[in-house]
Structure 1
Amino acid sequence: MKLLVFIAVLKLVTCGYLPPPDGYYDNRTPTCACDEAQISTLAEKISQLELNLETQRSRSDSLEKRLTHHERNKRQAVYGPVAFTAYLSHWEQDLAIGQPVVFDTALTNEGGFYSTSTGKFTVPLDGLYIFSFMIETKHAVDTAVRLVVDGVNMLDAVVEPRHTGQNLQGGNVGIFKLHKGATVWVENYNREHQTLEGQDSYRFNTFSGALLSEVEDFVSTVG
């Protein structure tokens, strides 16, 4: 419809009208000086212009995607790989409910976003992340911990030994979409004065995480 209107207007502008004869105002219709061949030629030119415009739009979209990908690669080049694995190198005793478990020795800490002093990982980029954690205890004491993001519970793990001297491990793994600046840690939550068995030679209690891929324009897993 827009094309037909444009052609009609173009016809009026380019063709013009013949000078009105005598009696012009006696309800006669003006005569157009152009012919159908000219109109057809103009229509073809407009169609070609529309096709060219669509091609340019496609090229522009492709260029925008390439620029976005380039900027993403630049950011990743600045940060490098993001990954960590840490373990508890000593016995952790008297843990309070809600207290973070500080896995104090890092085996891997690419980018330095995990803190061995606080036990917390700070998300450097909007993206898809994977985390895993393992806990170990004995002496017939039930132990439960959870993975939290900014204080929101995401995953739980429990160990329930049934007699003294029984060693058990429990853990969990999850993949989440997280925004830059979010903080992730593992905390005790089922009982006061909790104990976790840790030492340098037996690394039973561990916490790991890694950036799988950067993601833009998404809704975080954490509500």
Structure 2
Amino acid sequence: MLKFQTTDQFKTLSFLLRNLIAKNERILLDLRVRCDGEHKKSRINRHLDDKKARSLNKSSTYAATNLHSQNGSPIASYQDSKKEEQDISRKRQISGVVAFYAYLSSTEPSPSVHHTIIFDYVKTNTGEAYNRHNGMFTAPADGVYVFSWSTYSQQHGAIYTEMVVNSAVIGSALSDSNSVNIVAAATGNVVVEISRNDVVYIRTNSVNHGAGDILSFARYRTSFTGWKLS
């Protein structure tokens, strides 16, 4: 038990104790505030992490759903794309609009007789009836069609061409510069009534061989075009 000699000693000690208690209370309060802050910060971070996880899960779910909507494979996506192209083609065919224009992307060197000319660069193909891989136009419907083709022969050359429907020659043309040192041109035009699935194409003459190359450059194109008249 403490004994105090004077009242001043008691007051001094009491003052020191009160200061010490107040200082400890401030320390405890500061620790409590810091703990509360850390707890709140941790809660916010957990909330943000949960939100981010839900967002990623939602994106994954959407991607998976989108993938399943395409039957879950690249092949299915390709098939969907092809189906869309086919739908567009069918709509064009139903509308009755059929027209194409194609030309040789480069010179055809010294073609032989009975040689099908494949006009490989397609600018217009409404109705999707012309095939740039084999040079064939396949009629999508019965009707009257107009066809035109142009060929260019080199200097001192000659190119005989004919338009064929299935196996019948319907029209012919001759680009002849055999006796002159110039590029010659020839154009054939045919109006013909054909049936659905009839095939139309351009080839060199079956008998006359001709001479030289079939020319096709940016300045002049060897070309094939056609459209459904009615």
Give the TM-score taking structure 2 as reference length: 0.56
Where 1:78 maps in the other structure, the secondary structure is: helix
Where 1:90 maps in the other structure, the secondary structure is: coil
Where 1:125 maps in the other structure, the secondary structure is: coil
Deviation of the 1:77 alpha carbon? 5.9
- Work out which of the residue numbers 202, 220, 225 in structure 2 matches 1:186: 202
Hey, what's the Cα distance between the residues in 1 that align with 2:212 and 2:221?
Answer: 16
Taking only aligned residues, the RMSD between alpha carbons, in angstroms, comes to 2.1
Which residue does the alignment assign to 1:174?
190
Which residue does the alignment assign to 1:205?
222
Could you list the per-position Cα deviations for residues 83-120 of structure 1 after superposition, in whole angstroms to 9, with x for gaps in the alignment? 00111110111322111111111111101110111111
Hey, what's the Cα distance between the residues in 2 that align with 1:211 and 1:141?
Answer: 33
Deviation of the 1:141 alpha carbon? 1.4
Is contact 1:143–1:194 with CA below 8 Å preserved after alignment?
A: yes
Hey, what's the Cα distance between the residues in 2 that align with 1:116 and 1:202?
Answer: 21
Cα separation, partners in 2 of 1:77 and 1:188, compared to 1, 3 Å: closer
Where 1:94 maps in the other structure, the secondary structure is: coil
Is contact 2:171–2:190 with CA below 8 Å preserved after alignment?
A: yes
Which residue does the alignment assign to 2:129?
113
Could you list the per-position Cα deviations for residues 115-140 of structure 1 after superposition, in whole angstroms to 9, with x for gaps in the alignment? 11111100000101000011001221
Give the TM-score taking structure 1 as reference length: 0.58
One-letter amino acid of the counterpart of residue 124, structure 1: P
The question of 1:133 aligning with 2:146 is answered: no
Which residue does the alignment assign to 1:99?
115
When Rg is computed on C-alpha atoms for both structures, the one with the higher figure is 2
Hey, what's the Cα distance between the residues in 1 that align with 2:215 and 2:92?
Answer: 37
Kindly indicate which of the two structures has a greater share of residues assigned to helix: 2
One-letter amino acid of the counterpart of residue 202, structure 1: R
Q: What stretches of structure 1 of length at least 5 have no aligned partner?
A: 1-73, 214-223
Where 1:102 maps in the other structure, the secondary structure is: coil
Which residue does the alignment assign to 1:78?
94
Which residue does the alignment assign to 2:166?
150
Is contact 1:130–1:212 with CA below 8 Å preserved after alignment?
A: yes
Q: What stretches of structure 2 of length at least 5 have no aligned partner?
A: 1-89
Where 2:131 maps in the other structure, the secondary structure is: coil
Hey, what's the Cα distance between the residues in 2 that align with 1:148 and 1:93?
Answer: 22
Percent identity between matched residues is 24
Note the 1:15-94 alignment, pairs <5 A. 78=94, 80-94=96-110
Cα separation, partners in 2 of 1:163 and 1:193, compared to 1, 3 Å: closer
Hey, what's the Cα distance between the residues in 2 that align with 1:202 and 1:184?
Answer: 27
Cα separation, partners in 2 of 1:142 and 1:116, compared to 1, 3 Å: same
